[in-house]
Amino acid sequence: MAEREQQRESQPRPTLPQTTTSKTAAPDLPADLKEVYSWRKYFELITGQASKEDISKYRMARDILNEERDCKRCEADRDWLLQYSPVVTFLRENINKLGHDINSTNVRCKRCSTIQSGGFDADYGILICANWLRTRAEIEDTMAHEMVHAYDYARFKVDRGNLRHQACTEIRASMLSGECRFGREFFGRNQWNITEQLQECVRRRATLSLKNRPAVKDDVHSARLVNEVWDSCFKDTRPFDEIYR
């Protein structure tokens, strides 16, 4: 799990990656993917002998073949979380108060071709990347993260073109979703810092999320934007009274 977390963190998250729908039958594998999706290649992968290209192709083939199963599992977890998760139901209630609703029609489970956990778009809704999230806890963190974005867009009128606004909502989403809690960092991502662990995690993840936006030049520019709004945005825990998880 730690390897998967580190891969997701190593690649910035575009707002909406290329996806396929769970309502469509998975296509046959292309010839180049069929060639690598074998027991021999699997053992090369787990023993560290496979090339990066073969690893990428093997995982793509696996995700295509398991798409229907992954999306159904994700949808079942999504529906459970919308009803029973304390953090998800709290955020949903507060978004409802602002005249919007988060439900199964605008939280979509898809197979993503990019390495990321999900995304948010004010017009589209919330995307959950079913092939990259294996547990209900991971889906809960991702839903909470994207629901903080949804709350911010409804409550604060976030400007998509304002990079300081985008930096602020990324800080808040990483801080309030629970994805930076100590146990997730320590056991899931091999981040073993004790002092100011939360702050370091939030800075790191907000910077990574921000730097793939077209107007952000590079990771230095992204880090500077995060730093510019850090003091005010890290202190802002609305709609929570304090950091919940």
Using alpha carbons, select from 117, 109, 102 the residue that is nearest to residue 77: 109
E strand intervals along 31-131: 107-112, 118-121, 125-129
Burial of 93 (0-12, 13-18, 19+ CB in 10 A): exposed
Q: Please report, as a single letter, which amino acid is at residue 242.
A: E
- Please compute, for residue 238, the number of CA atoms within 13 A of its CA located in the half-sphere on the CB side: 14
242 catalytic? Reply is no
Catalytic residue, candidates 75, 138, 140, 146? 146
- Which residue in the block uniquely carries the two structure tokens 């029973």? 84
Other residues' Cβ atoms within 10 Å of the Cβ of residue 43: 11
Largest CA distance in the chain: 55
215 phi and psi angles, rounded to 5 deg: -80, -10
Active-site amino acid positions: 146
